Amino acid sequence: MALRVYNTFTGEKELFVPLTPGKAGMYVCGVTVYDYCHIGHARAGVVFDIIFRYLKYAGYDVTYVRNYTDIDDKIINRANQEGTDYRTIADRYIAAFDEDMARLGLEKPTIEPKATDHIGGIISIIETLIAKGHAYVSAGDVYYAVETFPDYLKLSGRNLEEMQAGARVEVGDKKRHPMDFALWKGSKPGEPWWQSPWGDGRPGWHIECSAMSMEFLGKTFDIHGGGKDLVFPHHENEIAQSEGANGCQFVRYWLHNGFVNINAEKMSKSLGNFFTIREVLKKYDPETLRFFILSAHYRSPIDFSDQNLDEAQSGLERIYACLAALDDVLSTHPPLSEMTEADNLSPVGQELQEKAHQFISRFVESMDDDFNAAQALGVLFETVRAANRFLAEMKDATPHTLALLATVRQLFVESGSVLGLFTTAPALWLEGIKSAKAGQIEIAPEEIERLIEERAAARAAKNFKRGDEIRDLLLAQGIQLLDSAQGTTWDVK
RNA sequence: GGCGCGUUAUCCAAGAGGCUAGGAGCCGGUCUGCAAAACCGUUAACGUCGGUUCGAAUCCGACACGCGCCUCCA
């Protein structure tokens, strides 16, 4: 068992060797809290959630820090628009973020610091950078002098000349070099401010992450994550700040998740083609959204569309239906013992036993390979098929077959705890999906029930023509009748 | 323009030199009065052209197409 992770810095998968054996320090850029989160945030949240969970599962003592950037131009702009103060805006969207992430089933990080609680640390790093000649004061602002840091742009693999050629960076008279970036911004009247050696002001974007990561994880730590779009400039600037101030390596492994696309184009605030998490969750179950995110590798782009979400839901339903069937058998015949040795199992039973035996090692192998959740889901589906086959042919439950089924059920609990799936009782989840769909139909459930009764009567009288008529009538309204030995139920197509 | 990534069957999506990925769908079967649902089975692919190799989706090169970053972004 050896975890390998793709490091943006080297562009290769590397063996994960933590700084301190048995421990892992991870910092992930959270959000700037000025608006509701979109599904791009959902992806980043879910991706690093399973990375956090898997590191713990693999036995590491993980310290996971995810920040809130609660002071920034955008927050101030928003506050001005609404005629309120920045704190009101920040607190509102912190609460909204927490709510959205909780609905997506994210575990709480170890620490969730706020930038404004770390102004002291921020000032202290800036002072060090000035003392070391990496930063300079200019008319109440402080800027980082990128030319003093030879490794600048080493993460994104660019160079300063190239950047300037295509960039439309304004050569402000306050900056010495157009690529210099603000560490501290003097406050204008009416803006929030903190006291500093350079006058009243507020931190620039980037410096808060250097300060908070150092505070909780030290000068050097294992994993730093975030969306691909943060590679430049955010993470590049963090490196310049932290390594410039501390004179040692900042981060050992840089992990970046891919984008969410809409119609094969990047979704973003600036393009205006984004969906908020809460919009999406009105239509889709949170676990469906999570399952959709996990169905592709975290570094690949994923295309968000109704069709893809519908497919994700079908796939998840398949697993849940199998789990419900397992629960059904196990609740009526509680297993007496742990799994015993194979006693004349059928070939189908042997296949299931085989799948159960290999399950964890195959799951771990997938996750060890740069958190390949999509491949891990393949392992789950193969097990579902084997279990369904077994259930279909199982006549009576022997202690051994029950123990086998209980083992299989437990494997889904275990893998589900890493993937953040199957947290709901299967029967309940399936019921939830059904009633969510029922909310979208026109016809009243009482009317459906009445027609079902009428159809049952017609069928009892062998009047199949009338019976089929009713069936077609309901189908035209999106109501699918499900006949079974126990009677007729219905579902929304 | 610079840098980087991708192209896998009808669609989504893993895999990265020889080993059944998987899901949705199609089709076939079981069930059913007939269907549907469910379950089972089954099908098919590696952008194009060259090269390396006993063997290439997989490695190398060229080309085509698509995308991303270079400006706030997860």
Q: Gap from A57 CA to B72 C1', in Å?
A: 36
Tokens 């771990």 correspond to what residue? A364
Residues in A 289-328 whose C-beta is less than 7 A from nucleic strand B are 295-297, 300-303, 307-308, 311, 314-315, 317-318, 321-322
Would the Cβ of A29 be found within 7 angstroms of any atom in strand B? yes
Would the Cβ of A227 be found within 7 angstroms of any atom in strand B? yes
Q: Which nucleotides of B are covered by protein (CB under 7 A)?
A: 1-5, 11-16, 21-25, 32-41, 66-74
The region that residue A6 occupies, defined by phi over 0 for left and psi between -120 and 50 for alpha, beta otherwise, is beta
Q: Gap from A337 CA to B54 C1', in Å?
A: 53
* Virtual torsion, Cα A226, A285, A97, A260, nearest 10 deg: 30
One-letter amino acid for residue A198 of the chain = W
The per-residue pLDDT for range A95-118, each reduced to its tens digit, is 999 999 999 999 999 999 999 999
Q: Mean pLDDT across the stretch A479-491?
A: 84
DSSP A202-252: EEPTTHHHHHHHHHHH-SSEEEEEEEGGGIIIIIHHHHHHHHHHH-S--EE
The CATH class that applies to domain A18-282 reads: alpha beta
Q: Which residues pair with A111 in a beta bridge?
A: A65
Residues in A 380-419 whose C-beta is less than 7 A from nucleic strand B are 381-382, 384-385, 388-389, 392
pLDDT score at A168? 47
pLDDT score at A273? 86
Q: Gap from A374 CA to B42 C1', in Å?
A: 24
How far apart are the two ends of chain A, measured CA to CA in Å?
44
Would the Cβ of A375 be found within 7 angstroms of any atom in strand B? yes
pLDDT score at A36? 95
Q: Gap from A303 CA to B65 C1', in Å?
A: 18
Would the Cβ of A219 be found within 7 angstroms of any atom in strand B? no
The per-residue pLDDT for range A413-463, each reduced to its tens digit, is 999 999 999 999 999 999 888 888 777 777 888 888 999 999 999 998 999
The region that residue A157 occupies, defined by phi over 0 for left and psi between -120 and 50 for alpha, beta otherwise, is left
The length of chain A in residues reads: 493
pLDDT score at A395? 72
In terms of Cβ atoms closer than 10 Å to its own Cβ (0-12, 13-18, 19+), residue A128 is middle
- Helices H / strands E in chain A, number of each: 16, 15
Could you tell me the residue ranges of all domains in chain A? 18-282, 307-427, 441-492
- Cβ-Cβ contacts under 8 Å for A353 (sequence gap 6 or more): A342, A345, A404
Residues in A 136-175 whose C-beta is less than 7 A from nucleic strand B are 156-158, 162-163, 165-169
- ipTM value greater than 0.90: yes
More confident residue, A333 or A251: A251
E-strand stretches of A263-373: 265-266, 302-304
Measured from the Cβ of residue A247, the count of other Cβ atoms closer than 10 Å reads 10
Handedness of CA A275, A278, A279, A280 (dihedral sign): positive
Q: At what angle do helices A286-294 and A373-393 cross, to 10 degrees?
A: 110
The CATH class that applies to domain A307-427 reads: mainly alpha
Residue nearest to nucleotide B33 (CA to C1'): A464
